[in-house]
């Protein structure tokens, strides 16, 4: 089977109709909302500089896992300048591509505005730590492995990343055990899901246009995937806390992010790969098998720990 290897410019041309259709789809489905409607402003009060009191942990209604997840989620959203640059470079700023870049940026910015306003007004998180993390993250930027290599790698990355962010926000809302935070993060999760669908549909069309080239990008991104917050201070510690609380862990990543997208693209049913494309699909299958093995081992170790604790208690 003859396979085409296309430049970024050629791919943008081939995928333009899909992009235009999905911009219209997004605009018809996206619900406009205002961050200020989700903030309990009556709970706000001045900090010490203006005659009030500075933050201390007893003021927060959230437990540590919820605070850590909120901090991580917001720092992720705060790195918008880096994401905007990458998406604009990958897509260009012309016509439907430019419309999407602008709309996506505005919606992502709304997320960070809303989360920050909620956290500061309710005194849920240390505002000094939050500001320090924002500056450090923005200065460092974020360049996930392989994602900046070309347009296809970028689109594959944001497909998985947007869905992962949606899952993380939704579960963080539940973990907060606070109705306003839950409602806000439900609203943000709905946006993230629409963003994911836009990117997922582009990759789906790219698989038709250049199957081998696209499956390689998918394999590269999956096997080296990192969340945008990976470079932030204490990320590993925070990731462990988030995983132990069930907000986002390996099981959720595999079952709620990776596999649904691969099924949507029919990766293991397609017959249009050839040569190295078949090898790349095998690489994805091996990755899924490896992740499944890791997950099984984690579950077995967890069961053994629980059994040991049960025996000690009895």
Q: How far is CA 135 from CA 112, 121, 140, 230, in A?
A: 14, 20, 8, 15
Instruction: Supply the pLDDT for residue 3.
Output: 66
229, 35 in Cβ contact below 8 A?
A: no
Give the chain's domains with CATH numbers: 8-43+60-249 (1.10.620.20)
User: Per this entry, what is the length of the chain?
Assistant: 314
Known binding residue 162? Answer is yes
Main-chain dihedrals φ then ψ at residue 39, nearest 5 degrees: -115, 125
Known binding residue 108? Answer is yes
Known binding residue 307? Answer is no
**Residue listed under structure tokens 């209604």:** 61
Q: How far is residue 104's CA from residue 77's CA, in Å, rounded to a whole number?
A: 12
Known binding residue 269? Answer is no
Main-chain dihedrals φ then ψ at residue 33, nearest 5 degrees: -150, 160
Known binding residue 253? Answer is no
Q: What is the pTM of this model?
A: 0.92
DSSP state of 149: S
Enumerate residues 6+ apart whose C-beta is below 8 A from 310: none
Q: What DSSP string describes 126-163?
A: -HHHHHHHHHHHHHH----TTTTSSHHHHHHHHHHHHH
Q: Quote the tokens at residue 287.
A: 């990755």
**Residue listed under structure tokens 């809303």:** 114
Helix 95-121 / helix 80-91 crossing angle, nearest 10 deg: 170
**Residue listed under structure tokens 């109709």:** 17
Q: Quote the tokens at residue 27.
A: 């605009």
79, 138 in Cβ contact below 8 A?
A: yes
pLDDT in tens, 253-305: 999 999 999 999 999 999 999 999 999 999 999 999 999 999 999 888 888 88
108, 192 in Cβ contact below 8 A?
A: no
Instruction: Supply the pLDDT for residue 243.
Output: 93
Instruction: Supply the pLDDT for residue 226.
Output: 87
Instruction: Supply the pLDDT for residue 313.
Output: 83
Enumerate residues 6+ apart whose C-beta is below 8 A from 80: 105, 108, 109, 112
Q: How far is residue 202's CA from residue 44's CA, in Å, rounded to a whole number?
A: 43
Q: How far apart are the first and last CA of the chain?
A: 65
* Residues with pLDDT less than 70, the chain: 1-3, 145-148
Q: How far is residue 193's CA from residue 168's CA, in Å, rounded to a whole number?
A: 12
Closest CA to 169 of 196, 189, 194, 187: 189
120, 86 in Cβ contact below 8 A?
A: no
Q: Quote the tokens at residue 87.
A: 């998406």
């Amino acid at each position: 089977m003859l396979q085409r290897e296309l430049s970024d410019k050629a791919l943008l041309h081939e995928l333009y109709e899909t992009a235009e259709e999905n911009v219209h789809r997004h605009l018809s489905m996206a619900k406009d909302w205002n961050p200020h409607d989700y903030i309990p402003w009556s709970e706000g009060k001045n900090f010490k500089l203006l005659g009030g009191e500075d933050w201390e942990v007893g003021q927060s209604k959230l437990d540590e896992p919820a605070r850590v997840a909120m901090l991580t989620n917001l720092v992720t959203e705060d790195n918008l300048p880096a994401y905007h640059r990458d998406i604009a470079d990958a897509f260009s700023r012309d016509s439907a591509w430019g419309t999407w870049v602008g709309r996506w940026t505005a919606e992502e910015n709304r997320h960070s505005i809303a989360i920050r306003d909620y956290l500061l007004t309710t005194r849920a998180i240390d505002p000094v730590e939050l500001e320090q993390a924002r500056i450090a993250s923005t200065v460092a930027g974020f360049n996930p492995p392989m994602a900046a290599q070309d347009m296809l790698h970028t689109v594959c990355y944001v497909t998985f990343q947007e869905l992962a962010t949606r899952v993380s926000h939704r579960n963080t809302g539940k973990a907060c055990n606070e109705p306003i935070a839950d409602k806000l993060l439900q609203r943000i999760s709905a946006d993230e899901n629409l963003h994911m669908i836009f990117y997922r549909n582009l990759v789906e069309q790219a698989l038709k246009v250049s199957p081998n080239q696209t499956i390689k990008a998918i394999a590269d991104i999956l096997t080296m995937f990192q969340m945008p917050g990976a470079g932030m201070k204490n990320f590993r510690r925070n990731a462990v806390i988030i995983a132990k609380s069930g907000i986002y862990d390996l099981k959720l990543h595999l079952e709620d992010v990776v596999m649904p997208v691969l099924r949507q693209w029919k990766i293991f049913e397609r017959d249009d790969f050839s040569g190295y494309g078949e090898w790349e699909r095998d690489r994805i299958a091996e990755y899924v098998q490896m992740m499944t093995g890791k997950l099984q081992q984690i579950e077995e170790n967890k069961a053994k720990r629980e059994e040991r604790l049960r025996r000690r208690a009895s």
